[in-house]
């Protein structure tokens, strides 16, 4: 599948060498993307909060090379050469080559760092792939200078489109603070090809929303994303699940407008548990929650029961728990975490993050 709109036909400029750097955040889905078709097309629409502190910083250096028949690049994580990252990036380059025809003309040095520990169990693919896609879109723009088609909104669209080809959820990390991805009847601009900023009214209650990530289990992922999405093929509940995602996204529109946090909690927690229910009922099946995940969930429910707190949880495809809560509860929730939840975190570790505004050129 080739999408004409994103193909750069020719470059009027030549640049021998250069450097560009972006920082790009992670995001946390409220309505989950789980299941995809060919070419990284999502089986259902999703929506996420863009985060602010959990991010990847990528510096891309490029220099023109003689041999223009192959890709050539080196990758460094925290200044250490990482040859085991190369196959993933090679696959990404192959997927995006049609849209970035300069890729074989240069040797690239990709230097990347995450603000969160690499082995924390927090997926770095969303922030990492979006940061790399943004760097490459910047090079595309440098070579196309003065080209009208690379205005800011098209730039973001193209970066999101390319990021999606690296890792689906990465397409929701370019902008903030709420991003939808996947065609949905309520969003005229929505697309399966890239993320779009949430276009409707958002109530004050969601301003500066917090996400504290409790690092319950920092182990390597038990199920890769590719395998995980694949489990939705021929899944007995797939069609109902995809319908439910459409409905939940639709219902969130009214919730964001009214600021109804009780309704928000119901949708977000149900989405998290549905994601895990899909994994538990696929073939093969997986349980990615750990005993401490359940301890934390039960304590969050008990805390809500005895206070008038609006804290809720969501999960990714792993054991860590994201606690979402409004700004005015930050102090109390921090106390709650320190008193009751740190004991369920590996080495007592958690990350205080918040809703953010998207990626930044450095
Ligand atoms: O972007 P991927 O292919 O790693 O998939 C991510 C899927 C979830 O994190 C589980 C949900 C989501 O929408 O982010």
In the predicted structure, residue 240 carries a pLDDT above the cut 80 = yes
Is-contact 59 23, C-beta < 8 A?
no
d(CA 273, CA 95): 33
Nearest to 47 by CA among 271, 265, 351, 223: 271
d(CA 288, CA 291): 10
Residue 150's pLDDT is what?
65
Pocket mutation for ligand 1, best pick of 30, 32, 170 (most atoms within 8 Å of C-beta):
32
d(CA 226, CA 301): 32
In the predicted structure, residue 119 carries a pLDDT above the cut 70 = no
For residues 106-120, average pLDDT: 88
What backbone torsions phi and psi does residue 260 show, to the nearest 5 degrees? -75, 95
Residue 220's pLDDT is what?
66
What backbone torsions phi and psi does residue 229 show, to the nearest 5 degrees? -65, -35
| DSSP β-bridge partners for residue 18 | 62
Spell out which residues line ligand 1, taking CB within 6 angstroms: 29, 32-34, 46, 123, 125, 167-169, 225, 275, 316-317
For residue 36, give the ligand 1 atom closest to its CA: 3
Residue 66 CA to ligand 1 center (angstroms) comes to 39
Identify the helix (H) or strand (E) that includes residue 213: strand 210-214
DSSP letter assigned to residue 286: -
Residue 149's pLDDT is what?
58
**pLDDT tens digits, residue range 250-295?**
999 999 999 999 999 999 999 999 999 999 999 999 999 999 999 9
Residue 343's pLDDT is what?
97
Residue 225's pLDDT is what?
85
Residue 123's pLDDT is what?
67
**pLDDT tens digits, residue range 46-70?**
999 999 999 999 999 999 999 999 9
Residue 229 CA to ligand 1 center (angstroms) comes to 9
- When the pLDDT of each residue in the chain is averaged and rounded to a whole number, the result is 94
Residue 233 CA to ligand 1 center (angstroms) comes to 16
In the predicted structure, residue 354 carries a pLDDT above the cut 70 = yes
Please report which confidence band the pLDDT of residue 10 belongs to, taking 50, 70 and 90 as the band edges.
Answer: confident
Sheet holding 321-325, edge to edge: 312-315, 321-325, 210-214, 350-354
| Domains of the chain by residue range | 4-200, 210-354
Query: Are 4-200 and 210-354 in the same CATH fold?
Result: no
d(CA 60, CA 84): 18
In the predicted structure, residue 148 carries a pLDDT above the cut 70 = no
In the predicted structure, residue 120 carries a pLDDT above the cut 90 = no
Pocket mutation for ligand 1, best pick of 46, 172, 225, 267 (most atoms within 8 Å of C-beta):
225
CATH code, 210-354: 3.30.70.890
Architecture of domain 4-200: 2-Layer Sandwich (3.30)
For residues 113-130, average pLDDT: 82
* Long-range contacts formed by 187-190: CB under 8 A, 24+ apart: 187/45, 190/45
Is-contact 180 300, C-beta < 8 A?
no
Residue bearing the CA closest to ligand 1, atom 6: 169
Residue bearing the CA closest to ligand 1, atom 9: 316
In the predicted structure, residue 147 carries a pLDDT above the cut 70 = no
Alpha carbon of 2 to those of 57, 143, 150: distances in Å? 29, 22, 19
Residue 68 CA to ligand 1 center (angstroms) comes to 34
In the predicted structure, residue 72 carries a pLDDT above the cut 70 = yes
d(CA 190, CA 181): 7
For residue 123, give the ligand 1 atom closest to its CA: 4
Residue 282's pLDDT is what?
97
Largest CA distance in the chain: 68
- Regarding predicted confidence, which is higher, 144 or 136? 136
For residue 32, give the ligand 1 atom closest to its CA: 13
Residue 286's pLDDT is what?
94
């Amino acid at each position: 599948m080739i999408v004409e709109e994103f193909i750069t036909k020719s470059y009027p400029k030549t640049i021998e060498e250069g450097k560009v750097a972006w920082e790009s955040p992670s995001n946390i889905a409220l309505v989950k993307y789980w299941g995809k078709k060919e070419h990284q097309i999502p089986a259902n629409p999703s929506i996420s909060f863009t985060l602010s502190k959990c991010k990847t910083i990528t510096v891309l250096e490029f220099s023109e090379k003689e041999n223009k028949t192959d890709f050539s690049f080196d990758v460094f994580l925290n200044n250490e050469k990482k040859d085991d990252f190369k196959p993933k990036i090679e696959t990404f380059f192959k997927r995006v080559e049609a849209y970035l025809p300069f890729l074989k003309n240069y040797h690239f040095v990709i230097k990347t760092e995450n603000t969160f520990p690499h082995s924390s169990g927090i997926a770095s693919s969303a922030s990492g792939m979006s940061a790399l896609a943004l760097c490459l879109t910047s090079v595309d723009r440098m070579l196309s200078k003065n080209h009208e088609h690379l205005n800011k909104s098209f730039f973001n669209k193209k970066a999101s489109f390319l990021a999606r080809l690296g890792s689906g959820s990465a397409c929701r990390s370019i902008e903030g603070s709420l991003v939808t991805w996947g065609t949905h009847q309520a969003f005229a601009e929505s697309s399966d090809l890239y993320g779009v900023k949430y276009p409707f009214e958002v109530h004050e209650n969601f301003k500066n929303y917090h996400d504290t990530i409790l690092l319950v289990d920092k182990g390597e992922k038990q199920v890769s994303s590719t395998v995980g999405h694949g489990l939705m093929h021929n899944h007995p509940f797939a069609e109902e699940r995809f319908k439910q995602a459409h409905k939940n996204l639709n219902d969130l529109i009214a919730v964001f407008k009214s600021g109804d946090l009780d309704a928000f909690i119901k949708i977000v927690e149900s989405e998290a548990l549905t994601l895990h229910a899909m994994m538990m009922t696929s073939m093969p099946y997986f349980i990615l929650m750990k005993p401490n995940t359940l301890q934390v969930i039960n304590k969050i429910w008990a805390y809500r029961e005895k206070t008038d707190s609006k804290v809720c949880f969501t999960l990714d495809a792993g054991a860590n728990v994201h606690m979402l809560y409004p700004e005015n509860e930050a102090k109390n929730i921090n106390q709650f975490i320190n008193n009751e939840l740190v004991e369920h975190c590996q080495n007592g570790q958690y990350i205080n993050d918040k809703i953010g505004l998207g990626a930044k050129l450095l």
